[in-house]
């Protein structure tokens, strides 16, 4: 009886550890892909119209990094919060 309880506890600990590892991995991979998406966006814009300006770079940045939409160019929040 005691062995059965220990097996259930061990299985629960293993499942929890695997779940946490999956969450951490997904978080890390998503952040790493964001920079690649930004470079792809800037390359696509530069190749499409043969010119590239800071406005194009900021538009790509705002599109890829969604948290930048409510900030000014220095990273300060816009408006009253």
Dihedral sign of CA atoms 45, 46, 48, 50 in order: positive
Write down the pLDDT at residue 1: 59
Write down the pLDDT at residue 2: 74
CA distances from 26 to 22, 51, 62 (A): 6, 35, 22
The pTM assigned to this predicted structure is 0.48
Query: Which of residues 1 and 20 earns the better pLDDT score?
Result: 20
Residue 69: name the closest of 1, 16, 5, 78 by CA. Answer: 78
The C-alpha atoms of residue 77 and residue 70 are separated, in whole angstroms, by: 6
pLDDT at 16 over 80: yes
The pLDDT tens digits of the residues spanning 59-80 come to 888 888 776 566 676 767 676 5
């Amino acid at each position: 009886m005691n062995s059965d309880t220990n097996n259930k506890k061990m299985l629960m600990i293993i499942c929890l550890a695997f779940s946490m590892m999956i969450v951490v991995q997904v978080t890390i991979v998503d952040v790493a892909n964001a920079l690649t998406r930004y470079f792809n966006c800037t390359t696509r814009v530069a190749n499409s119209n043969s010119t590239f300006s800071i406005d194009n770079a900021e538009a790509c940045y705002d599109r890829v990094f969604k948290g930048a939409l409510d900030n000014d160019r220095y990273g300060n929040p816009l408006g009253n919060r």
